[in-house]
Amino acid sequence: MDKTTANALLAELLAGRMPDAHGRFGPYGGRYIPETLVPAFDRLEAAVKRILPSQEFRDELGAELRDWVGRPTALSPMRNLSRRWGAEIWFKREDLAHTGAHKINNALGQALIAKRMGAKRIVAETGAGQHGVATAAACARVGLPCTVYMGEVDMARQAPNVGRMRLMGATVVPVTSGDRTLRAAIDEAFRDWVSNPDDTFYCLGSALGPHPYPYLVRELQSVIGREARAQILERAGALPDMLVACVGGGSNAIGLFHAFLGDASVRMFGVEAGGRGTGLGDNAARMPTGRPGVLHGTYSLLLQDEDGQVQETHSVSAGLDYSGVGPEHALLHDIGRAEYMAALDSDALDCVKECSTHEGVLPALESAHALWGARELARRHPGKRIIVGLSGRGDKDMPTLQNTLLSQGVPS
């Protein structure tokens, strides 16, 4: 993309004109949905337009974020990692939010909107289980029944989260079709909604899917960056040089990035799942090898073969194991406002160990990808002030960690 086009698109984004009336972020986004869902999406879009900016809703959401989620989350200076890596490392601590990850910001907001829309039930998909747990919790809080679709591969590797969802009253439905991970779970959640378009609210967990989800999820997650920006200005007296966040669908990253988009001096880095390596199907790195296509109702960068079939992905982290990426990230990538890198499974595991051992913070495997990104950037650019989006805590990963780090001997 040439510089002029990129600048024009960035200006549109900064002016708050993205997504546009068609749900587009430049070329990306849109709404590719079965006709049965069109009225449901029209209702959702109208409700989002009406409810999201209303003072009454903002007050209610703000109070619940404070009283029930525990916001604002801390911005912690990480002294030991700063010393080890030779940079000024700060964590935005979404691991401290209720239910243990940033997902609750979105799930709570959507559940409150569903309640106001008069929905009778909520359905959700989940990959790592964090969005499922957050949705189950939010539904319990607002008093709506909840059904969560989860691939059976993910149910095995995130078993503790399955139990948490069930304890909070959610029905967890194992998905045995397709790749039996997040992608298949989204397919099933859509099928549920296609079958029940009138009374069901689909609480989508990432900044992807058909319009207005990428917008809605970004708005609900932007609290991360708004808090972080105010906190760093107060604590450090200056903006950060860099932001680093992991990108699966991309909700925690877009949430952290958004408030800083206008700060031209702040570089933004998204870290994708590099998996086992660069082979087709060995990773979930959409930015370097993905081509534009339509999956789950949105036009974005997609891992697909020449015939337009969606490729299976691999990552040690269930939350990053997805073939597509949110449309706003695809735009940020194309216009160069954000940069993207990929961490291998082994890099992420190494950072879980380093962060746990030296800072007493057990990060989620997803967040550990961002840690690797920060470590790399610190090496390349010593002394910079870096905020890492620590999107979640690693308790849910204990089954995976038992089979990897812990079976190799406890770190000394």
Minimum gap (Å) between residue 293 Cβ and another protein: 5
- Note whether 27 binds another protein by CB under 8 A: no
> In whole angstroms, how far apart are CA 13 and each of 26, 225, 261?
9, 16, 9
What sign does the CA torsion over 396, 321, 210, 243 have?
positive
Among 10, 101, 295, 320, binds another protein (CB under 8 A): 295
Q: Taking the CB of residue 333, how many other CB atoms lie within 10 A of it?
A: 23
- Note whether 310 binds another protein by CB under 8 A: yes
Say whether the peptide bond before residue 197 is cis (omega within 30 degrees of 0): no
User: Three-state SS for 32?
Assistant: coil
- Note whether 307 binds another protein by CB under 8 A: yes
Amino acid at the residue 85:
W
Spell 381-402 as b/e; 16+ CB within 10 A means b.
eeebbbbbbbbbbbebbeebbe
Whole-angstrom distance, CA of residue 193 vs CA of residue 100: 27
- Note whether 346 binds another protein by CB under 8 A: no
Question: Do 271 and 247 form a contact (C-beta atoms < 8 A)?
Answer: yes
- Note whether 4 binds another protein by CB under 8 A: no
- Note whether 117 binds another protein by CB under 8 A: no
Site for another protein in 180-199 (CB under 8 A): 183, 187, 190-191, 194-198
Q: Is 384 a catalytic residue?
A: no
Total binding residues for another protein by CB under 8 A?
Answer: 34
> Which of these, 19, 249, 204, 224, lies nearest to 113 by C-alpha position?
204
- The interface region with another protein, picked from 5-13, 250-258, 289-297, 394-402 by CB under 8 A, is 289-297
Minimum gap (Å) between residue 76 Cβ and another protein: 40
Minimum gap (Å) between residue 94 Cβ and another protein: 29
- Note whether 164 binds another protein by CB under 8 A: no
Which residue in this structure is represented by tokens 């760093």? 232
Between 164 and 183, CB nearer to another protein: 183
Segments of 16-98 assigned E as strands? 24-25, 28-29, 75-77, 88-93
- Give the rounded distance of the alpha carbon of 4 from its chain centre: 30
Whole-angstrom distance, CA of residue 172 vs CA of residue 96: 25
Between 314 and 384, CB nearer to another protein: 314
- Note whether 297 binds another protein by CB under 8 A: yes
> Which of these, 245, 244, 220, 241, lies nearest to 232 by C-alpha position?
241
Q: Is 396 a catalytic residue?
A: no
- Note whether 2 binds another protein by CB under 8 A: no
- Note whether 294 binds another protein by CB under 8 A: yes
- Note whether 118 binds another protein by CB under 8 A: no
Among 174, 178, 281, 288, binds another protein (CB under 8 A): 178
| Segments in 52-119 forming alpha helices (H) | 55-64, 79-85, 103-117
Q: Is 125 a catalytic residue?
A: yes
Binding mask 30-69 for another protein (x = CB under 8 A): xxxxxxx-xxx-----------------------------
Residues that bind another protein (CB under 8 A): 22, 30-36, 38-40, 177-178, 183, 187, 190-191, 194-198, 293-297, 302, 304, 306-310
List the catalytic residues. Answer: 103, 125, 391
